[in-house]
Amino acid sequence: MLEKPNNFSQKSISCESCSLNNVCIPNGLSPSEIAELEISVDKTIKIKKKDALYHSKDEVDGIYAIKSGAIKTSISNEDGQEQVLEFHLPGDLLGFDAFNSGIHSCDATALEDTLLCKIAMEDFHDLCARLSGVRKEMMHQVGKEISHNQSLLLSLGQQQTNERLATFLLEMSSHFQSRGFSGQEFILPMPRQDLSNYLGMAVETLSRIISRMTEDGLIQMDRRLVIISDMEKLQKLAHTSTSYKK
């Protein structure tokens, strides 16, 4: 359930002062555009772990930016079998899945207690109509989403299971590093069941690959804590010298 805790309104900071301003919507906007954006942004949206931000078939009511925490998006078939589509971390935007029809096509669920900013759809359309910077930045964000989905399809279709995990860990490393955190040591917000689902393998297979990578000196893992011991070897396994930056 969505919550608006009273104590958050007093602690809200401006978009320009936010540590994520270089990876969120304000990136590339002029000072005047950021000022207009500030008026439309609700910075007090909080959801608890395992609660839903929105469900499939819900009408879209806004665009969200994650300030802290993590969200997974997923779809389910008629039998209730889930397919994880994406993990969204601080600085990521959500809500693009409803751009086509105005109806969400997936579920968005908090992996941990999560704080978000929100722009209501009415305000979003108004800002895009009036401010070229906002319109351009949102097109850029949608383009990144498409590129990422294409990269994921290539990974699942062409890579071996160990290569998929290596690629994923490099993406996570790049993501955390771009937000000012360590790219060598980080905590995964998702449980192993969700990660194996996302990577298209059984949980047992994922565990075996992690053990093998640990034995080979590529990584160390303690529950969800990941330490990349040999970045060069991990990149070689993933067949890349640079990781994807979302």
Class of domain 6-153: mainly beta
- Name the burial class of residue 241, with classes exposed (0-12), middle (13-18) and buried (19+) by CB atoms within 10 angstroms of its CB: exposed
Domain 160-238 CATH class label: mainly alpha
CATH 1.10.10.10, the chain: domain bounds: 160-238
Q: What is the pLDDT along the chain (246 residues), one digit of tens a residue?
A: 444 333 333 344 556 556 555 556 666 677 777 777 777 788 789 999 999 999 999 999 998 989 889 999 999 988 889 999 999 998 888 998 898 899 999 999 999 999 998 989 888 888 888 887 777 777 777 777 777 777 777 766 778 999 999 999 999 999 888 878 899 999 999 999 999 999 999 999 999 999 999 999 999 999 999 999 999 999 999 986 444 344
Closest C-alpha among 10, 13, 71, 6 to residue 41:
13
CATH 2.60.120.10 intervals, the chain: 6-153
- DSSP 3-state assignment of 147? helix
Instruction: Give alpha helix (H) positions in 12-131.
Output: 31-40, 121-130
Q: Which of 114, 88, 101, 83 is nearest to 172 (CA)?
A: 88
